[in-house]
Structure 1
Amino acid sequence: MADTAITVSNLSKAYRIQVTGAQTDRITTAVLNRIRHPLTRTHFEDFHALTDLSFEIPWGEAVGIVGRNGAGKSTLLKILTRITAPTAGVIDLGGRVGSLLEVGTGFSGELTGRENIYQNGALLGMSRKEIKRRFDEIVDFSGVEKFLDVPVKRYSSGMYVRLAFSVAAHLDTEILAIDEVLAVGDAEFQRKSLAKMREVARDGRTVLYVSHQMNTVTALCTSAIFLDKGRLGYHGSVDGAITHYRDTFEKFQVQQQDAASRPGTGELRLQRVGVTEQTQEPADEKVIEFNVGRNPHMIGKYFVSAHITDANGAVVVQCDSRLLGQWFDPSKEQAGTLRIQNLWLRPGRYTVDMFVCQAGILDAWEGADVIEVVEHSPYPELATDDALSHGMVLADFEYEATR
């Protein structure tokens, strides 16, 4: 076995992106454009997803890979799991890699759950006898025994993730790479998965875990890597990585004000997102105002979704307009107001992330505004600090003696 699980030297990844010239999705349109404008040249520029990364990961480490959207976390994991090739640099992997990166990848939709288990094991170089030895354990952990002989294309996203994670975690690989796909599963399965990943690391195998949720990184990982716009910002303790994540917020917030730099197709863009009162007490109503531009050529209505996120990147609440039957017409500029009642936030800083969506994401404005919740108890009685020390939010509750 190699001295280290993973050694990365001067790793870079660049993509060529078309920046001028007509973009078409029909071959007839492309041919007509070439006939009408024979001298027009298509120009490209390089987008550097990762730049000159170097680090080593020892055996038995559970490593969190953190960073904001666009930092290069998923790209790094795809390179380490050999899904995509680097543009430059050297990677030395000390063993076989099992991975779960995205819902819908890794399994063949036409094959049953049973057949996919054997296929995944074979791709990792395991014999049928080795796979069979692990088979019952995989099925029991996934909880999909009743559907084992059903093609996985008919599985729900939750069923798919449960089986895919179980296969990745139980087959004999030395390195386990997991993207934030576990968020699709239910809370109980997430708890089981985190416990399993801890067990994997204790057995001397190495775990790579990409997440926005700093609380799960803290619960699982023994060290962390912080990526900032494709560069290695920090590699060390989990607390150190989280500190770097928090410290980059103001710079990130300024960058996100430029709509062209935000994720999304750009067919529609948010023009403004603002909290009416940035400094609040825990029980105050949260009021968020927003404006969306227009696109008269866009077909179909769209919805908006607002997230309130804590300082560690955990989403405290999601307010999705679909849940209220509220859709918006893209042919007109839209001005809207979101009111959130009875959300008692603990003291601290929270950010508002706003998304404009249709089939995919049209605009994603993270860190659009900030809510500062001051130290103030919304409860009628005083108590020691331990009465308020647990939980992500405060609750409007009441006890009643019935006898």
Structure 2
Amino acid sequence: MTLTCQPGDRLALVGRNGSGKSTLMKVMAGIVEADRGLRVVSPGVTVGYMEQDPDMSGFATLGDYAASRIPEGEGYRVEVAAEGLGFKPDTPVASASGGEKRRAALAKLVAEAPELMLIDEPTNHLDIAAIEWLEDFLNETRAAYVLISHDRALLNRLTRQTFWLDRGVLRRRELGFQGFEEWREETWEAEDEARHKLDRKIKAEARWAVEGISARRKRNQGRVRALAALRDERSSQIRRKGTALMEFDSGTTSGKKVIEAKGVGKAFGDKVLFQNFDLRILRGDRVAFVGPNGVGKTTLLKMLTGEIAPDEGTVSLGTSLEIAVFDQTRARLDPEASLWNNLTQDPQMAVSGNSDQVMVRGNPKHVVAYLKDFLFDEAQARAPVKSLSGGEKARLLLAKLMAKPSNLLILDEP
């Protein structure tokens, strides 16, 4: 694989979940060493990297993390970025929300002011104001950047070139993300046509091998070897993955009242998140919780589902509720355990006496077959969850949720 980033490039790096986008970006950043080949950075060029899940362990505050690579005496850069992004540098890492941590990671990248920015899923957990600030910054910057994002609108507005990583092959297009799907379909159509031609040629040569190999044996042996080479070429082609089989079972009908909160309040130390809050959710309602990062949206969800208790007021749940929670931290997945064990050792999915089976909506199914429904191959079944990309972890969590009936779905940054 060969790629080049030029000054002024605004590149979208796209590909399916698990195709290797984040790994490729880490190689570009010099964090992961490639198995072979060279990484060359021009003299005087600095490379900055914002990872998908920043590791802030060892830092007391968000400001400490953001300033960790800033030269002494230039901390004002972090303060300027923090003001633009709207987060408080003195916020403890332990109590920061996902959005606040994401803002700190962006402030770190902006304050470092590299000539090439490698940015992996920057809008995850960000509120609307922070996304708008980020878009303005990337529009105005003179630095080159490579951007991984599932935010199509952001990619359409910001990028001028596209890297497409597909089954180990990297293609470059001198146009932004807009029009990518048409390019992809044209590429796949040409690929399918070439495959059909190869299949027809193999079929014709195989017929000849059966019917005409006896004459002129020396010349014919070369043709037989050529047929073997064609078959090897065909078998080496990697099939495109299909679409995950995603389906929720609504289960039994809940009572008319789903959740009712009366006069609830919650605070952490001197920080009051909400007070005198009333809410009534009925069967069939679809409710969106919006607000700036750190105001308590996730805390409110946890309180309404009974995971944490309010400081004041009451929360009552309706009857016959079956709750499925998609949490933003993917805490329901054990990162050290394999995909196999994450499913088979879930008490709600385990099949007694069958360690290779999982219960899927009331029916036992082989764990590998169920993983394949969500586009995981057999080789991944025994791999640890921590080896998955962010998108793959989301798919695995959905696999756990969709195996069980649910009539109340909680989605926190899906």
Q: Under a length normalisation based on structure 1, what TM-score does the superposition of the two structures give?
A: 0.49
Q: Which one has the largest radius of gyration? A: 2
Q: Which has the higher strand share?
A: 1
Q: Which has the higher helix share?
A: 2
